[in-house]
Amino acid sequence: MAALVYTLTALLGAAAAATGVAGMLGASWAVDVDWLVPLGGLALEMDALAGLFVALVGATAVPASLYAIGYTGRERRGCLAYLVFVAAMLAVPLAANVMTFALAWELMSLASYVLVLDGARAGREPAASAHAGWVYAVMTHAGLACLLAGMLLLTAWTGSARFADWTAAAPALDAGARSLAWALLALGFGAKAGGVPLHVWLPLAHPAAPSHVSALMSGVMIKLGVYGLLRASFVWLAPALPWWGATLLLVGAISAVAGVLYAIVDRDLKRLLAFSSIENVGIVLVGTGAALTFAATSMAGLALLALAAALYHVVNHAAFKSLLFMAAGGVLHGTGTRDMEALGGLIKRQPWTAACFLVGAVAIAGLPPLNGFVSEWLMFQALLQNVLLPQPSLNLVFALAIAGLALAAGLAVACFVKAFGITFLALPRSDAAAAAHEAPVTMRVAMVATAVACAALALGASSIVPALAVVAATLVPAPPPVTLGAWLTLEVSGEFASLSMPAVALALAGGILLPVLLLAVARVRPRPRRYETWACGRLLQTARMEYTATAFADPFTRVFDFFYRPVKRLDIDRHPESRFFVRRIRYENPTRFIVDEWLYRPVGRLLRAAARRVAVVQSGSPNLYLAYVLAALLLLLLVA
Amino acid sequence: MLRQLRVALRTGVVTEPPAREAEVERLGTLLAADIRARFGRSLAIRQVDAGSCNGCELEIGGLTGPHYDLERFGLHFVASPRHADCLLVTGPVTRNMAEALRRTWHATPDPKIVIAAGDCAGDGGLFRGSYAVVGGVREIVPVDALIPGCPPSPAALLAGLLDALGRPR
Amino acid sequence: MDALTLSVLQALVVGLGAPLLVGTLRTLKARLVGRRGPSPWQPFLDLRKLLGKTPVVSETTSWIFRATPYVLVGAMLVAALAAPVLTSRPPLAFAGIILLMSLFLLGTFFLALAGLDAGSAFGGMGSSREVAVAALAEPTVILAVFALALRANTTNLGGIVERVSAEPLLAVNPAHLLAFAAFFIVMLAETGRLPVDNPATHLELTMIHEAMVLEYSGRHLALVEWASAMKLLLFLTLLANLFFPWGVPADVEPPAMLLGLLALAGKLVLLAVALAALETAIAKLRLFRVPELLSGSFALAVLSVSAVFLLR
């Protein structure tokens, strides 16, 4: 029965993907059902940008649903919420008025909340699951509050709840009003996207949810936050102001670096992936911010390029992050644990899962010849042309963003060496890992299909990037900055830069085969002899002698200790008879979360203090309450 | 920093030519011709201390200095037996180091040779007959050549190595 | 000359020149400390001997360990096609420094995995340190080459070379020299030379690159050593040809490329002498001071970029 629902979702996803692609290619339509919902009715509209995101959600839902069949097994709980989740996500980009948007958004949030709670409870840690659900619910609704505030303001100012009307009326509003609306909308969409400092729900909710849901949440749900930002900045509130773009650039750069820094020190495999999503959202925000800045300073060609790069990264991230979450789910399914300190040696017990995780890791680390490299390259080309901007202050922001992106790219490589190396290589660190079993067929098929998609997205860059540029052109009208040259080369901004992925991939394949061939031709034959690892002649090798995940991250903990602010605790338990004999040593060096400590805890304290003050009103005495009612009535009579 | 470079440039090269005679006892497992063909021009040496008093190690350490400079003959010391062609073993092989020496030998890829340096490595030397000592490297791993001495001087070690390799000097 | 022949030629020059460069460096370092030292051709003899040995592979490892040497060599050979070695129009020059750095990172990624694969503490330690150094060096490289790209108005490495060739005085511009200094420090970090990492050390606790390679033997070791030598050659070539591109021809005709090869050889010898002198005179930095060195080089790169903007 659950399998049926998942298959239905997969079919829905496929249909949506087809519709979305049609929308990208120009087929636009609109559906208006006034009577279905109050306050404006149900209004759906398809255009190029909506088509892209609908296609993205649909295309990611297909392998995720297939995967879910194998992952959940006989478990029926959550399949309906999953269907609602996917359907709501498909409706969000299509929404054409406030009511539809709010409905779809809230349905999406509710469905995912149910799924997160479900998954967290299955993890058998009630306190943690309650906390994860709570933070997720609070952040989502705080975001929704900002969104509604912004949208209602715009409705009041422009007199209509339809998005199309906002586009027409926005230029008439003054800059301050537009900025206020933009700030509210950016806060709301930013909270959904997971930009620092509004990211705190991501590392709690994504690991807790079941893996197919995590794949969708990280892969496409947070992208809907980006979708909202794009709509708000380029369509509803155009023309943009430069500080909007600069803010997004800074937030993006900080998110990118902070996200990957937290990912590196994490020992929970899925939480590492969640932090890495924050990093990638940061990269997309950098692209969006760059595009906004260029658009605000009338450099439409560069804005188009930056936007195309951001959209490409959105698509790529959906592909490789969903692949990574599915593979991590495969690990969880096979071993029962997500803790990297208890994993290891899985490449021999779960070869398919390991190979798929490797493809995802190489892609997310931005290494050729996979898709992460191409979108990172394109993003850099867009950013490096910032020299053409007139104001030096903007140049400085761009230089910071470039440095931040480069650092994040390097750190991402380190992070995924750790994630893949500790989880899959060497010896198993626990019995659970030693007894792991491979994922069932449906899960494997879904993962392999996504891995192939990653490769296709890279090799097909020459067709995909121009297509995305066409979509971006609907937001920022300009001649395309990307043309095609010989060997399927992407030429950017004329002579500025070019890249031919097929050539690079071919060269790499040739380069790897060349030594194999050379050695064969030179008849270098000796077959390897198997022996133990070299350990200075020591008699035994156990898993205790391997490097641990925490040790692997140690150089980073030291270098960035101003960011992690670790608190070292050392407890030495000595023998009562003599202090020279040590019985037990307990060493803890946990990192702390700056944003939690400097932002959320003080805000939480303030709120609680304020609530305590206000709570005086709730005295519990019915006489006092009656007095309140009387006072309110008198006040209303006076005012009205 | 500049002072060091000035001194270096002023002093110049001080390497001495290798000694003529060599005392080497051949116990060969590999044919001399084979050794010369494979390792004559490039030999990676991994030194193993099987319980020695470190006298031999100090002399071996002198081989890498400017006066004896074994690198000019294509010999060099490596850190891991996986990288090595030759194990240069010193010490009488204490019982504690016997298994470690055996594992090191197995960790070295073939073809390989073992050169025992010092009287202790030959038959236990000063410590022959002790309860803690196995008595000579050949009891644990097959030995190709033995350079006697207690300790053998760096010149003798170098000459012995070159002779064991069959290299014309 | 068509792209395929050019590719083969550049690959040959880089592949065969790399061991010679490493050998020359070793000889120079030996002479500077008063030793006769090995012959510059010694690495070729070492590699040939290694090919004849039977590799010993640990039972703990997986296919990643055996595949990594090939991936490393592949990445370096493709990087050889992307760098302006013989000419300013190499076959893959278009993608610029990002493709080059990503190829190096691909090699580092797999080598780090291979280090973890054996399950020994040495390998894990080497992997951890190597990726930390590589991550911290990334921003400096991007910014330093960005400073050059700003001037040339292209990120195509060949374009940068041609722009600086056309205006030789650009090479003594402060921004240019600052970028060179930053890139030099990064070169030391990425190729594992003193003061960041000692390539000749035997103490595992002081190793960064060598620690990951401890488990390799036979032909696998030969491939890994060859790839490391190629990485050094490529970094020095970038330093020579990107920052001081005199003698790098734009056309791909044999006579011009021969001249280019001679010019490159001359510049590489100068750089090798400088590197040997530096390595002889400086002691290795404590590992936890390496990030300070790298942030210093980052500061230089930022200064270089600011100089380009201010001195426009």
Q: What is the 3-state secondary structure (H, E, C) of A7-22?
A: HHHHHHHHHHHHHHHH
B132-152 pLDDT, tens digit per residue, is 999 899 999 999 899 999 999
Neighboring chain C residues of A426 at a CB cutoff of 8 Å: 60, 116-119
How confident is the model over B46-53, as a mean pLDDT? 94
Residue C118 backbone dihedrals phi, psi, to 5 degrees: -75, -15
Contact residues for A558 (Cβ-Cβ < 8 A; gap 6+)? C288, C291
Amino acid type, A79: C
* Beta strand A529-531 pairing with B43-49: unpaired
Of the pLDDT bands very low, low, confident and very high (cuts 50, 70, 90), residue A125 is low
Residue with tokens 């002093």: B11
Look at residue A582 and give its three-state secondary structure: strand
List, in sequence order, the alpha helices (H) in A533-600.
549-552, 554-559, 561-564, 594-595
DSSP one-letter code for C286: P
Chains that touch C (3 or more CB pairs under 8 A): A, B
How confident is the model over A109-136, as a mean pLDDT? 81
Res A279 pLDDT > 80: yes
* Beta strand A497-499 pairing with A490-492: antiparallel
Residue C188 to residues A343, A406, C72, C175, C235, Cα–Cα distance (Å) = 35, 19, 19, 20, 9
Interchain pair A365, C94: CB under 8 A: no
Q: State whether residue A539 sits within 8 Å of chain B by CB.
A: yes
Q: Which residues pair with B113 in a beta bridge?
A: B86
CB atoms within 10 A of CB A378: 27
Res B166 pLDDT > 80: no
Q: Which residues pair with B116 in a beta bridge?
A: B89, B146
Contact C34, B14 (CB under 8 A): yes
Res B87 pLDDT > 90: yes
Res A175 pLDDT > 90: no
Q: Based on the number of CB atoms within 10 Å of its own CB, is A160 exposed (0-12), middle (13-18) or buried (19 or more)?
A: middle
User: Could you tell me how many helices (H) and strands (E) chain A has, helices first?
Assistant: 27, 8
Res B169 pLDDT > 60: no
The residue of chain C with its CA nearest to that of B63 is C35
C87-99 pLDDT, tens digit per residue, is 888 887 777 888 9
CB atoms within 10 A of CB A567: 10
For position C136, what pLDDT does the model report?
Answer: 93
Instruction: Report how far residue C295's alpha carbon sits from residue B18's, in angstroms, rounded to the nearest whole number.
Output: 48
A325-353 pLDDT, tens digit per residue, is 999 999 999 998 999 999 999 999 999 99
For position A488, what pLDDT does the model report?
Answer: 66
**Nearest CA to C310 among C177, C179, C182, C174?**
C174
Amino acid type, C280: T
Res B20 pLDDT > 80: no
Contact C224, C71 (CB under 8 A): no
The residue of chain C with its CA nearest to that of B71 is C38
Amino acid type, A457: L
The percentage of chain A sitting over the pLDDT mark of 90, rounded to a whole number, equals 48
In angstroms, the separation between the Cα of residue B57 and the nearest Cα of chain A is: 18
Q: Based on the number of CB atoms within 10 Å of its own CB, is A274 exposed (0-12), middle (13-18) or buried (19 or more)?
A: buried
Q: State whether residue C92 sits within 8 Å of chain A by CB.
A: yes
For position C67, what pLDDT does the model report?
Answer: 95
Look at residue A269 and give its three-state secondary structure: helix
How confident is the model over B36-65, as a mean pLDDT? 90
- Six-digit token pair at A290? 């760059």
In angstroms, the separation between the Cα of residue C11 and the nearest Cα of chain B is: 26
Instruction: Report how far residue A378's alpha carbon sits from residue A483's, in angstroms, rounded to the nearest whole number.
Output: 13
- Six-digit token pair at C306? 């600011």
Contact C172, C288 (CB under 8 A): no
For position B27, what pLDDT does the model report?
Answer: 66
Contact A498, C94 (CB under 8 A): yes
Res A126 pLDDT > 70: no
* Beta strand B43-49 pairing with B86-90: parallel
Res A24 pLDDT > 90: no
More confident residue, C232 or B16: C232
**Nearest CA to B23 among B155, B169, B168?**
B155
Contact residues for C16 (Cβ-Cβ < 8 A; gap 6+)? none
Contact B89, B136 (CB under 8 A): no
User: Alpha-carbon torsion A593, A599, A604, A605, what sign?
Assistant: positive
For position A494, what pLDDT does the model report?
Answer: 67
How confident is the model over B76-89, as a mean pLDDT? 94
Res B21 pLDDT > 90: no
* Beta strand B43-49 pairing with A42-45: unpaired
For position A110, what pLDDT does the model report?
Answer: 93
What DSSP line would sit under C263-305, residue for residue? HHHHHHHHHHHHHHHHHHHSPPPPGGGHHHHHHHHHHHHHHHH
CATH class of B24-165: alpha beta
Of the pLDDT bands very low, low, confident and very high (cuts 50, 70, 90), residue C312 is low
Residue A420 to residues A340, A350, A549, C109, C282, Cα–Cα distance (Å) = 10, 13, 11, 10, 37
A196-211 pLDDT, tens digit per residue, is 888 889 998 898 888 9
Residue C160 to residues A405, C93, C145, Cα–Cα distance (Å) = 22, 10, 9
In angstroms, the separation between the Cα of residue A527 and the nearest Cα of chain B is: 11
DSSP one-letter code for C13: H
Instruction: Report how far residue C91's alpha carbon sits from residue C104's, in angstroms, rounded to the nearest whole number.
Output: 18
Cis peptide before A239 (omega within 30 of 0): yes
Instruction: Report how far residue A235's alpha carbon sits from residue A189's, in angstroms, rounded to the nearest whole number.
Output: 15
Q: Which residues pair with B43 in a beta bridge?
A: B75
- Six-digit token pair at C91? 């076959």
Mean pLDDT of chain C: 90
Cis peptide before C195 (omega within 30 of 0): yes
Mean pLDDT of chain A: 89
Give kind and range of the element (H or E) at residue C181. Answer: helix C174-190
For position B143, what pLDDT does the model report?
Answer: 92
**Nearest CA to B90 among B160, B18, B169, B17?**
B160
Neighboring chain C residues of A305 at a CB cutoff of 8 Å: none
How confident is the model over C258-269, as a mean pLDDT? 92
Interchain pair C281, B111: CB under 8 A: no
Give kind and range of the element (H or E) at residue A207. Answer: helix A202-208
Neighboring chain B residues of A538 at a CB cutoff of 8 Å: 100, 103
Q: Nearest-5° angle of CA A255, CA A257, CA A260?
A: 95
For position A396, what pLDDT does the model report?
Answer: 81
Interchain pair B82, A534: CB under 8 A: yes
For position B39, what pLDDT does the model report?
Answer: 80
Residue B153 to residues A324, B23, B124, B128, B158, Cα–Cα distance (Å) = 60, 11, 18, 21, 9
How confident is the model over A497-525, as a mean pLDDT? 88
The residue of chain B with its CA nearest to that of C39 is B72
For position B29, what pLDDT does the model report?
Answer: 62
DSSP one-letter code for A477: -
The residue of chain B with its CA nearest to that of C273 is B5
Query: Chain B window 61-90: which residues touch A at a Cβ cutoff of 8 Å?
Result: 80-82
Neighboring chain B residues of C39 at a CB cutoff of 8 Å: 72, 74
How confident is the model over C279-293, as a mean pLDDT? 90
Neighboring chain C residues of B9 at a CB cutoff of 8 Å: 32
Res C74 pLDDT > 90: yes
Helix axes C218-243, C121-152, angle to 10 degrees: 20
Neighboring chain C residues of B88 at a CB cutoff of 8 Å: none
C46-61 pLDDT, tens digit per residue, is 999 999 899 999 999 9
Interchain pair A534, B80: CB under 8 A: yes
Of the pLDDT bands very low, low, confident and very high (cuts 50, 70, 90), residue B28 is low
Residue with tokens 């000063």: B126
Residue C277 to residues A623, C193, C228, C264, Cα–Cα distance (Å) = 91, 12, 21, 20
Of the pLDDT bands very low, low, confident and very high (cuts 50, 70, 90), residue C183 is very high
Instruction: Report how far residue A638's alpha carbon sits from residue C55's, in angstroms, rounded to the nearest whole number.
Output: 95
Residue with tokens 């898709």: A371
Across chain C, which distance is largest between two alpha carbons, in Å?
60
Interface pTM, i.e. ipTM: 0.95
Contact residues for A54 (Cβ-Cβ < 8 A; gap 6+)? A16, A17, A19, A20, A23, A46, A90, A93, A94
Q: State whether residue C57 sits within 8 Å of chain A by CB.
A: yes
Q: Nearest-5° angle of CA B87, CA B90, CA B91?
A: 140
Q: State whether residue B4 sits within 8 Å of chain C by CB.
A: yes
**Nearest CA to C126 among C214, C15, C30?**
C214
For position C2, what pLDDT does the model report?
Answer: 79
Residue C115 to residues A202, A548, C130, Cα–Cα distance (Å) = 32, 13, 10
Residue with tokens 């949506």: A16
For position B16, what pLDDT does the model report?
Answer: 82
Cβ burial C147-186 (10 Å sphere, 16+ → b, else e): bbbbbbbbbbbbbbbbbbbeeeebeebebbebbbbbbbbb
How confident is the model over A551-568, as a mean pLDDT? 89
Res A20 pLDDT > 80: yes
B2-18 pLDDT, tens digit per residue, is 888 888 888 888 888 87
Instruction: Report how far residue A476's alpha carbon sits from residue A307's, in angstroms, rounded to the nearest whole number.
Output: 9
Res A534 pLDDT > 60: yes
Residue with tokens 């005392």: B23
Neighboring chain B residues of A539 at a CB cutoff of 8 Å: 99, 103
Residues A12-15: contacts with CB under 8 Å, at least 24 apart: A12/A58, A12/A61, A12/A83, A12/A86, A12/A87, A12/A90, A13/A57, A13/A58, A13/A59, A13/A60, A13/A61, A13/A62, A13/A64, A13/A65, A13/A86, A14/A58, A14/A62, A15/A58
Q: Nearest-5° angle of CA A93, CA A95, CA A97?
A: 140
Question: What radius of gyration, in Å, describes the C-alpha atoms of chain A?
Answer: 26
Of the pLDDT bands very low, low, confident and very high (cuts 50, 70, 90), residue A322 is very high
Of the pLDDT bands very low, low, confident and very high (cuts 50, 70, 90), residue A495 is low
Interchain pair A411, C135: CB under 8 A: yes
Res A132 pLDDT > 70: yes
